[in-house]
Amino acid sequence: EAQVTQNPRYLITVTGKKLTVTCSQNMNHEYMSWYRQDPGLGLRQIYYSMNVEVTDKGDVPEGYKVSRKEKRNFPLILESPSPNQTSLYFCASSPHEEGAYEQYFGPGTRLTVT
Amino acid sequence: AQSVAQPEDQVNVAEGNPLTVKCTYSVSGNPYLFWYVQYPNRGLQFLLKYITGDNLVKGSYGFEAEFNKSQTSFHLKKPSALVSDSALYFCAVRDPYGNNRLAFGKGNQVVVIP
């Protein structure tokens, strides 16, 4: 089954404790992205990657890091989480073909930082 | 920068009645527009897209959307709403300059009343 998977689905942590949220897709997509969803704000892009070893900042990159060493994986790293990073996080992927721009989303990771 | 506006926080509709969820957009260049639906505790699911061609776009689950260039709108419609259509609906516009970033609206909660 074609899908985007994220782990963990739920995470409660404390301020300052480094964490990684994994994202993997099995559709051979070039493009991958991370979004955070907050009530009343919709989804905002954190980082994106056009292909392996190519990453760039989105709209709200502060406090986050990413890497793209393999085509299928795009982990999100919070080096020192803070309470304002409590949110619902989504990973997404899409092909990089003309007209095929729809993105496929993972199930989400609900992060709480206390 | 591109953006979308979803003016209503919540749309209430009786089962069997027509459903409309409004979206207006702002983008330089050709608009690539999308609708996504989010059910409780789930990721976003792609419903339909407008890239070019016919102004009336048909998508999944009986939904359609009408692209109106003069009014810069892309309203989502369904002729006869079902209780199972109750969900959060997001309109999005793609970055026209190759990032593939999606700018999302804040979302509309649709409540279909039995």
For chains A and B, CB pairs below 8 A equal: 56
CB contact under 8 A, B43 and A33: no
Task: Kindly state whether A45 is in contact with chain B, defined as any CB-CB distance less than 8 angstroms.
Answer: yes
Task: For residue B46, give the 3-state DSSP assignment.
Answer: strand
**B106:A108 CB<8 A:** no
Q: pLDDT tens for residues B50-64?
A: 988 889 999 999 999
Question: How far is B4 from B67, CA to CA, in rounded Å?
Answer: 13
Query: Which whole number is the average pLDDT over A103-110?
Result: 94
Mean pLDDT of A93-101: 78
Contacts of B49 in chain A (CB under 8 A): 101-102
| Terminal-residue alpha carbon distance, chain A | 36
Q: Which residues of B touch A105 (CB under 8 A)?
A: 36, 43-45
What average pLDDT score do residues B11-40 get?
94
Q: For residue A113, give Cα distances in angstroms to A105, B40, B85.
A: 23, 22, 33
Q: Say how many C-beta atoms besides its own lie within 10 A of residue A46's C-beta.
A: 25
Q: What is the mean pLDDT of residues B2-24?
A: 94
Token pair for residue B88? Answer: 């959060």
pLDDT given at position A102: 86
- pLDDT tops 90 at residue B29: no
The pLDDT value recorded for residue B98 is 63
pLDDT in tens, A46-79: 999 989 999 999 989 999 999 999 999 999 999 9
* pLDDT attached to residue A114: 96
Length of chain A: 114
**Cross-chain CB nearest to B43 (options A56, A58, A105):** A105
pLDDT digits (tens, 9 = 90+) for B82-103: 999 999 999 999 877 767 788 8
* Residue among A42, A58, A107 minimizing CB distance to B101: A58
For residue A99, what pLDDT is reported?
A: 67
Residues 64 through 103 of chain A touching chain B, CB cutoff 8 Å: 90, 92, 94, 96, 99, 101-103
- Per-residue confidence band for A1, with pLDDT thresholds at 50, 70 and 90: confident
* Candidate from A44, A58, A102 with C-beta closest to B34: A102
C-alpha span between B41 and B114 (Å, rounded): 22
Chain B (47-106) residues lying within 8 Å, Cβ to Cβ, of chain A: 49, 51, 90, 92, 94, 99-102, 104-106
Residue B59 amino acid letter: G
